[in-house]
Amino acid sequence: MKTFGTLIAAFGRQYEVRTDAGEILLCVPRGKKSLFACGDRVQVAATGPGQGVIDKLVERSSLLYRSDAWRQKLIAANATQVVMVVATEPSFSDEFVSRCLCAAESQHLKVLIVLNKTDIPAGLADARSRLASFVKLGYPVLELSALDNVDALRSRLVGETSLLVGQSGMGKSTLTNALIPEARAETREISEVLDTGKHTTTFARLYPLPEGGGLIDSPGMQTFGLVHLDNEALESSFREFRPYAGQCRFRDCRHDAEPGCALRGAAERGEIEERRLRQFLQFRAECENGRRQAQGW
């Protein structure tokens, strides 16, 4: 019997699918390639009690992934919002934040930055001042302490499918457990099923929210490669660059040392941040290198 469902967890080549009738099936893809992500809508066929195969993928409204020259890692499908968790300590990376923003912007997703661990006052002023430049770009920042109260965040998740991302150590799992009390228990159950013990947090999982919408918790990460973004997509994923698109003297301007570069001019006048322009050039070099390596140049 064929039925539709939502892929709610991805671990290795196995996927957990919640059918629209509410049944949970542990599925494998019919073909050899597993190109599915948490959040995907799929057509499945049950093959036994609690088991099935994935026959078909329903077209995605968005797909977030990270990539380097050799590998693309699907993070989440059909998300509508990226919730990026940073903390007062350990210190977070501005560059990582910019990378996440690029990934989200390239898929036209809403972004919410959560500054966690505000109960640790030592790093608070520094974190705020480093987030100020993102606030200036129009990205909302919500301050909270996941140990204390997450209600302010809860109300921002209603009706959205939110992907929770963050570097390791930012308190993302504390946040997930505060939002979804059964998350901790579910993680344990799955680890028993798979008999993997300590590898329990290395897969993404979609949790339905009681208020409507869902939350996709992704594994903590240290890098966020953007090799899948071509130069044009990368440039427009820096939202403050968009008004200057097509304004450079040369149509093929690399925004590097060319005369009459609109972005350089904007940076010199302080209209955009020099640091963000440097990050763009760095990400672009990395993407171009990655694509060259992938093609074996």
Contact residues for Zn ion, defined by CB under 5 A: 248, 253, 255, 261, 263
* The two three-digit tokens of residue 92, written as one number: 């977070």
Ranges of beta strands (E only) in the chain are 2-11, 14-19, 24-29, 41-48, 51-57, 63-67, 72-77, 81-87, 110-116, 141-143, 161-166, 204-208, 214-217
To Zn ion, the closest distance from the beta carbon of 195 in angstroms equals 55
Taking the least distance from each CB to Zn ion, the nearer of 189 and 256 is: 256
Neighbours of 158 (CB within 10 A): 12
* The two three-digit tokens of residue 50, written as one number: 């609690």
To Zn ion, the closest distance from the beta carbon of 262 in angstroms equals 5
To Zn ion, the closest distance from the beta carbon of 260 in angstroms equals 8
Taking the least distance from each CB to Zn ion, the nearer of 7 and 261 is: 261
* The two three-digit tokens of residue 262, written as one number: 């609109």
To Zn ion, the closest distance from the beta carbon of 253 in angstroms equals 3
Taking the least distance from each CB to Zn ion, the nearer of 159 and 243 is: 243
> CA-CA distance, 15 to 24, in Å (whole number)?
10
Taking the least distance from each CB to Zn ion, the nearer of 26 and 263 is: 263
Ranges of beta strands (E only) in 23-172 are 24-29, 41-48, 51-57, 63-67, 72-77, 81-87, 110-116, 141-143, 161-166
Taking the least distance from each CB to Zn ion, the nearer of 76 and 253 is: 253
To Zn ion, the closest distance from the beta carbon of 79 in angstroms equals 32
Class of residue 286 by CB neighbours under 10 A (exposed 0-12, middle 13-18, buried 19+): middle
Class of residue 188 by CB neighbours under 10 A (exposed 0-12, middle 13-18, buried 19+): exposed
To Zn ion, the closest distance from the beta carbon of 252 in angstroms equals 9
